[in-house]
Structure 1
Amino acid sequence: MTGRHCSLTRQPDPVLAPGLAAERRSALIGGRPMWVNGTVLHYHFFDRDSDGSVIAVPGTGETRRVGWVGAERQRNVVRECFAEWAGLGIGLSFAEVDDRSEAELRIGFQVGDGSWSAVGRDALRLGHNERTMNFGWDLTVPGERAMALHEIGHALGMLHEHQSPFAGIHWDDEAVYAELAGPPNHWDRETTRFNILRKLDRDEVNGSLWDPQSIMEFPFTSGLILEPEQFRAGLNPPGTLSPLDKEFVLRWYPPVGTRLPEELVPFRSAPLRLRPGEQADFRIEPRQTREYTVGVFGDADAVAVLFEERDGVPRYVTGEDDGGSPDNATLRARLVKGRRYVVRVRLYSVRGSGETAVMCW
């Protein structure tokens, strides 16, 4: 990657109940942004003349309206990068859609607004006419393709590698502020602090080791890093998916088998028998059309998501995350006879000694 950096916007910190055990808190913080495995992430490129917004012109105090629509050659770079992530054999897949209301990921190419992405499931908080990802410069320029891989990494739930508490980086803070205040980034001090100097919580990071070769690592010029000594002359990641990047996404999103999930029969509970971080999938084939409830039971934190299979592809219906609350995830939806549905339950942590189960009724 070049000196153009990704500027994430600050999201509200998760509200966790006071007094949570350290293990439970760690599982909740680390797992919150991650999608349930088997999800098809639909992406849409903004394509209307009306798609755009007003941005500040650096150094002038003026503003101007800039569109979000990108050239086809830019879109092709992003398509290729989605394909590269999918080519690892992960349990997520990607599909481009024309209808933005069907897309979890909505992509703009607004010049002057930098490059950024919502992190994982934070994309679901944004409205259908809002971007979840933006590219602020030409991705076809040599070295810029890495930015598309990087932003898709954020969309999968990954964070900036240089902010890992395991990195042991000692910055020359004022040099960093001065570097990022100039072109091409034009960041204020808070943006630089949030995206560069701030250390992440140990529970947020992609792994227990710092990976300076990661696609989620920024390049830095000489004089910004004081320690480790070998990076005083600069840090230059290759701009490709590293072995640890691949290991991380395959751990969270292992390949999905072709075997049909176990059927969840109404009024009959199915034990989950999951360890923290594991997932169980069940199919529902309604015998009648009506409103159904799907609920998780037991002293556990979990996220449950219901999909409807359309032409063999799972489409999101509804979901609930009970993480950190005393309640259990409960989904309600109208299910249609003759169609097939899949409920996916991922466990954050178990907070009691009893068994956990799922039931529909």
Structure 2
Amino acid sequence: MNIRYCAIPPQPPPPLPAGLEADRLNAIIATRFTWLNGTVLHYYFFDRESDGSVITIPEDGTERWVSWVGGKDQQDVVRESFQAWKDLGIGLEFAEVTDRVEAELRIGFQRGGGSYSKVGRSALAVGTDQRTMNFGWDLTPPDQRSTALHEIGHALGMVHEHQSPFAGIVWDEEAVYADLAGPPNFWPPEKTFHNIIRKHDPSEVNGSAWDPQSIMEYPFNPGLILEPEKYRAGLFPPGTISEADAVFARRWYPSPKDAEPLRLVPFRSVPLGLKAGAQADFVIAPEATRDYTVATFGESDTVLVLFEEIDGEPRYLTGEDDGGRPDNAFLTAHLVKGRHYIVRVRLHSSWGPGQTAVMCW
């Protein structure tokens, strides 16, 4: 059975200082990819034939131009998959846009380019003329529609389930490398190691137990897994969002509460009082048009993000993650009187007295 696999490109680990206490380090790793809850993730489909790239054909080494544009049938599978995640009742919103500059997620359909997605907030580091997600094969067959659910799972901050250290998988590594080197993947050993063999840190996986039914779990042919013994005959997840997947999504993106966010008034600090992984939301209604600074204070690691509300939607302006640093998150932006801004703060961890506050001025 020829199985096509998602291949996440390698990315360097976050530049964290040496010597961090284990609890603090684990808290930073666990939340470094997740979006701030309440974020509207705007997605864009590349739509011009000039959008594309040159690829090398693995079979013969020749090069050819391949478009990033996908047909409506392909796009509709992705749209339906965004809706399937939203139907879980999560606090993220998904909105399609026609301007790539407005999109946090930019989606291509380069055939032969593999399927992949940047993981969570790492998409923000990708240039607006580049893809954060790609689909490398036809999504419309019933057994391939799960690919879109899988890649959106990555975009939400989820990682490959079979790479969980809790899975207890023992591979026949020689067989795995040989299988992935052949059709339809043609992967070199380093790509197979990165996406199959390598184990994730326990703090960055989707949960504390392996979920073989997860949408983030690959299928595997017989003869690749040695342990657990029951999967020697192959592992074939259903290709749907599992209950454990839903628990992960609702944990990090709970349904929004009806309570009105507190207002940030210049030069008046507001205590956060958050537990690790929790979030607080604030609004700023500028009384004058000028440059404003927003910052956190205290012995803590936080993610601080500023949005502007445009046409009823929060649009990302700027953000900072101070995880692992001795100083606090600090950002400056030009705010306009009469417009509406939202500040969101997520706490990675705190130490010392654990007292943390946010203020604008």
Pairwise same-fold verdict (TM > 0.5):
yes
Whole-Å Cα distance in 1 between the matches of residues 258 and 72 of structure 2?
34
CA contact (8 A) 1:78 1:148 kept: yes
SS of alignment partner, residue 177 of structure 1: helix
Alignment CA distance shift 1:291-1:114 (3 Å): same
SS of alignment partner, residue 349 of structure 1: strand
SS of alignment partner, residue 248 of structure 1: helix
Length, aligned pairs only: 361
Whole-Å Cα distance in 2 between the matches of residues 102 and 123 of structure 1?
13
Whole-Å Cα distance in 2 between the matches of residues 264 and 201 of structure 1?
37
Whole-Å Cα distance in 2 between the matches of residues 311 and 193 of structure 1?
45
CA drift at 1:2: 7.1
| Residue of structure 2 equivalent to 1:262 | 262
| Residue of structure 2 equivalent to 1:276 | 276
Whole-Å Cα distance in 2 between the matches of residues 335 and 267 of structure 1?
16
CA contact (8 A) 2:300 2:354 kept: no
CA drift at 1:359: 0.4
Counterpart residue type for residue 87 of structure 1: D
**Runs (4+) off by over 2 Å:** none
Please give the residue correspondences for 1:10-89 in structure 2 after superposition, counting only pairs within 5 Å.
10-89=10-89
| Residue of structure 2 equivalent to 1:310 | 310
CA drift at 1:152: 0.1
Counterpart residue type for residue 271 of structure 1: P
| Residue of structure 2 equivalent to 1:332 | 332
Whole-Å Cα distance in 2 between the matches of residues 298 and 124 of structure 1?
26
| Residue of structure 1 equivalent to 2:356 | 356
Asked if 1:323 corresponds to 2:305, the answer is no
1:279-316 per-residue CA deviation (whole Å, 9 max, x = no partner) reads 00011111111111111000000000001111221111
SS of alignment partner, residue 202 of structure 2: coil
Counterpart residue type for residue 7 of structure 2: S
SS of alignment partner, residue 359 of structure 2: strand
SS of alignment partner, residue 353 of structure 2: coil
1:67-110 per-residue CA deviation (whole Å, 9 max, x = no partner) reads 10001000000000000101111111100000000000000000
1:241-295 per-residue CA deviation (whole Å, 9 max, x = no partner) reads 0000000010001011233201111111000000110000011111111111111
CA contact (8 A) 1:271 1:355 kept: yes
| Residue of structure 2 equivalent to 1:156 | 156
| Residue of structure 2 equivalent to 1:192 | 192
Alignment CA distance shift 1:149-1:19 (3 Å): same
Identity of aligned residues (%): 65
Whole-Å Cα distance in 2 between the matches of residues 185 and 151 of structure 1?
17
CA contact (8 A) 1:2 1:144 kept: no
CA contact (8 A) 1:302 1:347 kept: yes
| Residue of structure 2 equivalent to 1:288 | 288
Whole-Å Cα distance in 1 between the matches of residues 86 and 191 of structure 2?
31
Whole-Å Cα distance in 2 between the matches of residues 349 and 99 of structure 1?
36
CA drift at 1:340: 1.2
Cα RMSD between the aligned structures?
1.0
CA drift at 1:186: 0.9
CA drift at 1:20: 0.4
Whole-Å Cα distance in 1 between the matches of residues 183 and 258 of structure 2?
49
Whole-Å Cα distance in 2 between the matches of residues 215 and 312 of structure 1?
32
| Residue of structure 2 equivalent to 1:301 | 301
CA drift at 1:337: 1.0
CA drift at 1:130: 0.3
TM-score when normalising by structure 1: 0.99
CA contact (8 A) 1:281 1:345 kept: yes
CA contact (8 A) 1:146 1:239 kept: yes
Whole-Å Cα distance in 2 between the matches of residues 18 and 259 of structure 1?
40
SS of alignment partner, residue 334 of structure 1: strand
Whole-Å Cα distance in 2 between the matches of residues 263 and 204 of structure 1?
33
Whole-Å Cα distance in 2 between the matches of residues 258 and 69 of structure 1?
40
CA contact (8 A) 1:299 1:350 kept: yes
| Residue of structure 2 equivalent to 1:130 | 130
| Residue of structure 2 equivalent to 1:217 | 217
CA contact (8 A) 1:58 1:186 kept: yes
Whole-Å Cα distance in 2 between the matches of residues 87 and 14 of structure 1?
32
Counterpart residue type for residue 196 of structure 2: I
| Residue of structure 1 equivalent to 2:246 | 246
Whole-Å Cα distance in 1 between the matches of residues 132 and 311 of structure 2?
27
Whole-Å Cα distance in 2 between the matches of residues 10 and 24 of structure 1?
24
Whole-Å Cα distance in 2 between the matches of residues 108 and 354 of structure 1?
44
Asked if 1:203 corresponds to 2:176, the answer is no
| Residue of structure 1 equivalent to 2:229 | 229
Whole-Å Cα distance in 2 between the matches of residues 21 and 89 of structure 1?
35
SS of alignment partner, residue 166 of structure 2: coil
CA contact (8 A) 2:279 2:347 kept: yes
1:101-124 per-residue CA deviation (whole Å, 9 max, x = no partner) reads 000000000001110000001101
After the TM superposition, which of the residue ranges 251-260 and 297-306 deviates more from structure 2? 251-260
| Residue of structure 1 equivalent to 2:102 | 102
